[in-house]
Amino acid sequence: MAKLIELKGISKSYDGEKVIDSMDLYIRDKEFITLLGPSGCGKTTTLRIIGGFETADEGQVFFDGVEISDVPAYKRQVNTVFQKYALFPHLNVYENIAFPLRLKKLDEEEIRTRVTDMLKMVALVGFENKSVSTLSGGQQQRVAIARALVSHPRVLLLDEPLGALDLKLRKDMQNELKSIQQKIGITFVYVTHDQEEALSMSDTVVVIADGEIQQIGTPTDIYNEPKNAFVADFIGESNIIDGVMLEDKKVKIASHVFDCVDGGYDKNEPVDVVIRPEDVDVVKPEDGMLQGQVTAVTFKGVHYEIIVDIKGFKWMIQSTDYVAPDAIIGIYIEPEGIHIMKKSKYSGMFGDYSSFSDEIDQLSDADAAEEF
Amino acid sequence: MKYASRIYLCLIFAVLYIPIVTLMLFSFNAENSTAEFTGFSLRWYIELFSSTEAFTALRNTLVLAVLSALLATVIGTLAAEGIYKMRSKLLKSAINSVTNIPMMNPDIVTGMSMMLFFAAIMGILAVVIPNISYNDIGFAAMLISHTTFCLPYVILSVLPRINELGDTMSEAALDLGCTPAQAFFKVKLPNIMPAVLSGMVMAFTLSLDDFVISYFVGPSNFQTLPLLIYSMTKKKVTPDMYALSTIIIVTVFLLLVISNFKSEKSSAASRKKKLISIVTISVAAVLAIALVISSFFIDDAPATDGAADVGGDVITINVYNWGEYISDGFDGSMNVNEEFEKYYFDKYGKRVKVNYTTYATNEDMYSKLSNSAVKYDIVVPSDYMIQKMIEEDMLYEFDASSLSNFGNIMDDYKGLYYDKDNMYSVPYTCGMMGIIYNKSMVSEEDVREMSWSLLWNQKYAGKILQFNNPRDAFATAMYMEGLDVNSTDPEVWDQALDLLIKQKPILQGYVNDEIFNKMTTESAAIAPYFVGDFLTMADQEPNLGFYYPKEGVNYFVDAMCIPKNAEHPEVAMEYINFMLSEEAAIANAEYIGYASPNRLVVENDEYRAYMEDYGYEGENGETAYDLLYNVMPAEINKAYNEMFGSNDASCYRSFSPEIQTRVNTLWENLKLSDATEPWIHVLSIGIVVLVAAFAIYSIYIKKKRSRFYRYRDRDNKRTAVAK
Amino acid sequence: MKVAGYGSLGLTNLMKNKRSLGQSILAAPHIFWAVLFIILPLFIVVYYAFTDSNGQFSFSNIASLTDYAPIFGLSLELAIIATAICLAIGYPLAYCIAKAKPKHQKIFIMLLMLPMWTNLLIRTYSIMAILDDGGFLNSLLNTSFHIVGTKGAVIFGMVYDFLPYMVLPIYTCISKIDRSMWEAAADLGCGPIGTVVKVIFPLSMSGIISGVTMVLVPSISTFYISQKLGGGTFELIGDTIERQFVTGALNVGAAISLVMMVLILISITIMNRFSDAEEGGIIV
């Protein structure tokens, strides 16, 4: 697939604070790409630069090989679904969707067909005459999508479009968005801070933190092969432990040497080791590669979440078997379950379950997102 | 784009501020002019700070604004909360509509309705409390009126905020153990405070600026600043009002700048809070400063010094006089009212306080006196008004010859037609009407004719002014044509009207005190006016000349009278007697510039020298003194008077009600005649058509576009029903 | 306060109702005030309008109003022109202010309000000093434009004095429009001008309506500006009422006031209807 949008060396600061730091990114045609990151990481700014609502301080934006850095928003072939939908309150549902078509001065018949098609697609037939303010959040969301798609843009930008919806509706809309994207076959650039949303919908996920791209890859790559501690922590649950690479496929963690599948590191190089909670098996203490004491057990429905203190480091383990708190248990990890990463600036900041920092982080994320 | 908007903003604000800067400039004018800047001086600031009247008015304005803003805020905030809590939508919208009436109604209608309302209240009160005067309820009436028109603004400001806030917060407060009252004061009120304060500031500003409603409702003993200024416009607006405006605007500007500057420095979170407190503080500061200054200046006057000492034993006499019609102590002149207070204390050992207020026309004074049952001790009506008031039994009868100083009045001014036996009045000033012309703009031969017809001379089209009151304007035409200015024959008036209609196209305008500015800046060339005022103008613009038209002129006598319901007629008589004394009379004559009927004045050498020194010299070298005293009305009007067989036919008589109505109607016709200009019709109709077309077009487009989905909607409903 | 008596009674529905009822009492002083000082005076105006000077019932005042139709017409025409000019000048002004930096916005609004602290009469005198035949403008340009005394000058005076009333509501309305509305319009293909015409203008309709009302009403009824800047050569309806008041012809004055009030209230109601229909009840 060809590169449709390309950002080259984009930088942007607000009041002297750098929000995006020389970012390079390309987006292929017809793909569903997600910009994922905590709030304030620069993902929305990136999107707004693509949309033409902001101009980058440095760098260029290309669309289909043509530089569009200075092209104003209304001349770009991209459309946006805004965070709070930005529907026009003075127009009803039909007129909101017809708005871009009327600007193109299409004839009434054409407008009617295309608006009706869009209404069918978002399942809002019969709502034409309704005032947008009387619609529910989900319905407004659909109108916004229909309005953005009706003029057949090459790219649809979505800025946290599901942020204001409740959980159930959000799940439904995720599926719907994905199927719309597949049906009409255009590029979706999706911004979210919800990693689950990103993983379940996207073809490509771009993880952004501190105005820099941390990793680009398919959802599986991102999950299984995180590049650094930030990505590992931000995507799913992970135990990130200091280790030392003794040689290829041999890593020492907590004075136990594990077999693993990664290589290509210097001898005795300190590394970050990622172990997903579901990759850890609970065994009898004497059979375990490491032993530790259970400090907390939480029932999560499908499994138990067990926090184990192993030599002062709190591991999270997901197990279908119940273990009693305070019990001494052993753990066993398959070599495939161990993922080695180079040390980065994020090392040591994440991956310890000794506190609830993770959840608190997420809470504050949500708050921040609302403020935006 | 950004550039364009910046230029646009600058342009608009420039236009907005040019008049403001101009008025600031004139506040520093050396001369008594609001149109011609002659030099820089602080004279008007000094005058302002020595003027009790201005400061009393300022204090009244502020007191009224603060009280009505507070009252409106309290009632309005409670009302907003109450309306919010109301269940019935019907009741809610009914209350909202009623609340909005004073906002939607033109001020003049609100003023009119309030005036009629309080007149009715007075009618009721007069039954219960005999002797009540409008002044007794005047302040309450003003407060009620101001509060009423401020209320909607407070509610409009507070109600949306309460709606926005919703119930959750007060419910949380109740949940945490607050009583409803506590919930309101501790939780809700702090949260709606910004809206409450902005409503209050709005109310304050509106009350401060209000002129129309105060004009209709205001009592004579409570003059606000706008009323004071308006009353001046009938005589002459002096630059001290500009000085006051400058002080107010600069103070407000500085406070706003300070509050802006400070709030910028603080963090975003506390900014709002700070801003509120600063706004409150600044408003309070303006008030405090103003009140301190005003009370300082007012209390500094010796009159109230005494009042403070003796407490309740002070007799207050209410003197109601024309504006700028008494020597007030400015520039080393004598403060006649203060001197009287001293004189009275010395003579009787009793404190008396002169409460001095002003009016602009005889009719203003008359309507105040007759509509609102105001109790004045002294009024100074003109001749014809005295006649009318005597006929209507409004004046107190006293024998003027019993006053020890009455002999000072020259015989010519005794026993005039309106008061043949001098039982009601004592002449104060007199003046004659004439024509003022600009020597460089009007040719000599036209002047030499000495005729009223100069006012009808086509040569000077667009440069001629005419009186903006029916009586004087009609008179100019009637003297010219030898018609009786006091005719009871409607046809005579119609004849005069024809002349005025003929004159209208060549007029620059019908004016009151604008004449001062227009003549001194050479905006106009010819105007009829009174000799005393001409001397003031001539002092500024030496190019002006004056003559008494040969056909006959009006002369008037303003005389001191005591209204029937005066509370202290004896003191009032004492006051009149004092005004006849040499010192007081000379001081007044020099200050006012009109002719004095007092022999001691006319024969006083110093006074004569003063008037001869006046900045005027006639064509034949005559002085201001000559203009005032050496041309007697009797000589000029000889021919005219003979025509009507009376020796004072040229003096105005009061109209009979029929003629009054007739004259009003004719005056109206005059104003209406030829008032249409096609472009006005074209433009306004064009605008209406445009708006209507826009409205119809947008409705049409909407209908056309929605044709499709409207049917769709109906179809949907139908299928839904079928299901 | 009366409501305090209800104390901490909890949050059951019953109590809630009771409390609501109790707290609507807060509006009582206002209702009392409104009935006594708003409605009653209006009835007195009606009474005066339908009686003669002796207090006898009479239609003559209302009947005599036909004489004033031309004055009504002229007042209305001048007011319409002044309002249209205010809108034409004020809308871009409000727009520019709303688009300025927040810090500057505050200053602009302050500057806009500041002249209102100067007395209207003084401002008018100042305008006269500038525009008069021998005034500043003419002596500066060395021309002899005759401005004061024309209807144009009256319109200028109205625009000058009432412009803030037009700008403030529109500014408030525009500044409340979310940034995303601008962006959405641009995103969907609207150029800068198209955005203003198709999105911002309709969204600020409520501000325009209230601005138009706030300028139109005082313009129709003004009696000072026309006297001074109009040179007194013609009369507006405000002048007529004032003259009736001064000459004591209160009944005719009341009749004119009544008719003017009714006309204005009707037109405001129509305008509000129109704006409601336009906005589909969005603006609460």
What CATH number does the domain containing A350 carry?
A: 2.40.50.140
Residue B698, domain member (yes or no): yes
What is the layout of strands, in order, in the sheet containing A269-275? A256-259, A250-253, A239-247, A269-275, A338-342
SS3 A266: coil
Between CA B454 and CA C122 the distance in angstroms is 32
Task: Copy the structure tokens of residue B362.
Answer: 């005889």
Task: State both tokens at A259.
Answer: 């077999």
In angstroms, the separation between the Cα of residue C157 and the nearest Cα of chain B is 11
Q: How far is CA B657 from CA B400, B661, C249, in A?
A: 29, 6, 11
Q: Do C71 and B681 touch (CB under 8 A)?
A: no
Helix (H, G, I), strand (E, B) or coil at A306: strand
CA-based radius of gyration for chain C: 24
User: Would B660 be classed as within a structural domain?
Assistant: no
* Residues A36 and A183 placed together within one structural domain of the fold: yes
Q: Does residue A310 sit in the same domain as residue A194?
A: no
Buried b (16+ CB within 10 A) or exposed e, A261-273: ebeebeeeeebbb
pLDDT mean over C165-193: 89
Chain C CB contacts of B12 under 8 Å are 89, 93
Q: What is the number of domains present in chain B?
A: 2
DSSP β-ladder status, A32-36 and A204-209: parallel
**CB atoms C190 and A103 under 8 Å:** yes
Residue B283 lies in a domain: yes
- Look at residues B281, B301, B321 and tell me which one is the last residue of a structural domain: B301
Residue A35 binned pLDDT confidence (cut-offs 50, 70, 90): very high
Chain B residue closest to C112 (CA)?
A: B13
**Measured between alpha carbons, how far is B530 from B537 in angstroms, rounded to an integer?**
11
**What b/e sequence results for B202-235 when a residue is b if at least 16 CB atoms lie within 10 Å of its CB, and e otherwise?**
bbbbbbbbbbbbbbbbbbbbbbbbbbbbbbbbbb
Instruction: Delineate the domains of chain C, giving CATH numbers in brackets.
Output: 2-49 (no CATH), 64-279 (1.10.3720.10)
How far apart CA C167 and CA C87 sit, in angstroms, is 8
- Residue C43's DSSP bridge partners are none
Give this complex's ipTM.
Answer: 0.85
A208 and A261 inside one domain: no
- Is A142 in the same domain as A266? no
Residues A44 and A125 in one domain: yes
Residue B577 has pLDDT above 90, yes or no: yes
pTM of the entire predicted model: 0.82
Q: In the structure encoding, which two tokens stand for residue A309, read together?
A: 């203190």
Residue pair B522/B414 in contact by the 8 Å Cβ criterion:
no
**CA-wise closest residue to B192 among B153, B157, B168, B167:** B157
CA pair distance C3, B527, nearest whole angstrom: 68
SS3 A47: helix
- Residue B605 in any domain: the answer is no
Residues of C in contact with A52 (CB under 8 A): 186-187
- Could you tell me which chains touch chain B, where touching means 3 or more CB pairs under 8 A? A, C
pLDDT of the residue at B671: 82
Examine the domain organization and report whether A237 and A208 are in the same domain.
no
Same-domain pairing of A169 and A257: no
The chain A residue lying nearest B708, using CA atoms, is: A112
Looking at B120-124, B215-219, B624-628, C6-10, which range is the least confident one? Answer: C6-10
Query: What is the rounded CA–CA span in Å between residue B53 and residue B298?
Result: 9
Residue A71 has pLDDT above 80, yes or no: yes
Q: Whole-angstrom Cα distance, residue C223 to residue C225?
A: 6
Residue to test with chain C: of A71, A90, A150, most C Cβ within 10 A: A90
Q: Indicate if the pLDDT at residue C2 is higher than 50.
A: no
Q: Both A214 and A233 in a single domain?
A: no
Same structural domain, A265 and A286: yes
**Contact (CB<8Å) A98/B709:** no
Which amino acid, residue A149? Answer: L
| Chains contacting C (3 or more CB pairs within 8 Å) | A, B
Mean pLDDT score of chain B: 84
To which residue do tokens 């952004």 refer? A208
DSSP B129-191: STT--HHHHHHHHHHHHHHHHHHHHHHHHHHHHHHHH-SHHHHHHHHTT--HHHIIIIIIHHH
Q: Are C247 and B363 in contact (CB under 8 A)?
A: yes
Regarding predicted confidence, which is higher, B237 or B213? B213
End-to-end CA separation in angstroms for chain C: 30
pLDDT at B276: 60
Per-residue pLDDT, averaged over C189-218, amounts to 89
Q: List residues of A whose CB lies inside 8 A of any C CB.
A: 51-53, 72-75, 78-80, 82-84, 86-90, 92, 99-100, 103-104, 131, 133, 147-148, 151
Helices (H), chain A: 43-51, 93-103, 108-121, 137-149, 167-184, 195-201, 219-224, 229-234, 357-371
- Which of residues B301, B322, B353 is at a domain's end? B301
Chain B residues with CB under 8 Å of A98 CB are: 705
The whole-angstrom separation of Cα B121 and Cα B129 is 12
Tell me which residue of A211, A151, A206 sits closest to A36, measured CA to CA. A206
Q: Which of A203, A224, A245 is the last residue of a domain?
A: A224
Virtual torsion, Cα C65, C66, C68, C69, nearest 10 deg: 130
Residues of A in contact with B712 (CB under 8 A): 126, 128-129
For the cut 90, the answer to whether the pLDDT of residue C135 exceeds it is: no
Does residue B596 lie in a domain region? no
Report d(CA C131, CA C134) in Å as an integer. Answer: 8
DSSP letter for B403, please. S
Tokens for B632? 């007697």
Examine the pLDDT at B88 and tell me if it is beyond 90.
no
Q: Are A2 and A187 in contact (CB under 8 A)?
A: no
A351 SS3 class: coil
Q: Is residue B415 part of a domain?
A: no
Closest partner residue to B363 among C134, C217, C246, by Cβ?
A: C246
Domain co-membership, A283 together with A196: no
CA dihedral for B596, B599, B602, B605, sign (positive or negative): negative
A7, β-bridge pairs? A25, A61
Each residue's pLDDT tens digit, A304-359: 999 998 888 888 899 888 888 888 999 998 888 888 888 888 887 776 776 544 44
DSSP A286: G
Strand-pairing partners, residue B511, are: B467
What's A129's DSSP letter? T
Write the CA distances from B54 to A283, B516, B599, integer angstroms. 97, 21, 33
A275 with A147, same domain: the answer is no
* Among C159, C55, C160, C172, residue whose Cα is nearest residue C108: C172
Last residue of a domain, one of A200, A224, A248: A224
The secondary structure of residue B500, as a DSSP letter, is H
- Domain boundary (B274, B301, B328) is at B301
How many domains, chain A?
A: 2
Query: Chain B residue with minimal CA distance to C234?
Result: B671
Q: Decide if pLDDT at B62 tops 90.
A: no
Residue B631 lies in a domain: no
CA angle B354/B356/B357 to nearest 5° reads 160
State CA B479 to chain mean position distance. 31
A126 lies within 8 A of chain B by CB: yes
Residue among A98, A108, A128 whose CB faces B712 most closely: A128
Q: What average pLDDT does range B175-201 have in this prediction?
A: 84
- End residue of a domain, out of A192, A224, A256: A224
For B270-313, the pLDDT digits (tens) are 555 555 666 666 666 666 666 666 555 554 433 333 333 444 57
Tell me: do A356 and A272 sit in the same domain: yes
The domain of A7 spans: 3-224
Pairing of strands B425-438, A256-259: unpaired
Determine the Cα angle at B314 with ends B331 and B126, to 5°: 110
Report CA-CA distances (Å) from B293 to B51, B56, B331, B640.
12, 11, 21, 55
Please state the rounded mean pLDDT for residues B213-232.
84
Interval B174-202 mean pLDDT: 84
Cα-based angle C39, C40, C46 (whole degrees, multiple of 5)? 95
Query: 3-class DSSP state for residue B575?
Result: helix
Higher-confidence residue of B714 and A109: namely A109
**CATH value at residue B118:** 1.10.3720.10
CATH number at residue A201: 3.40.50.300
The domain of B686 spans 680-723
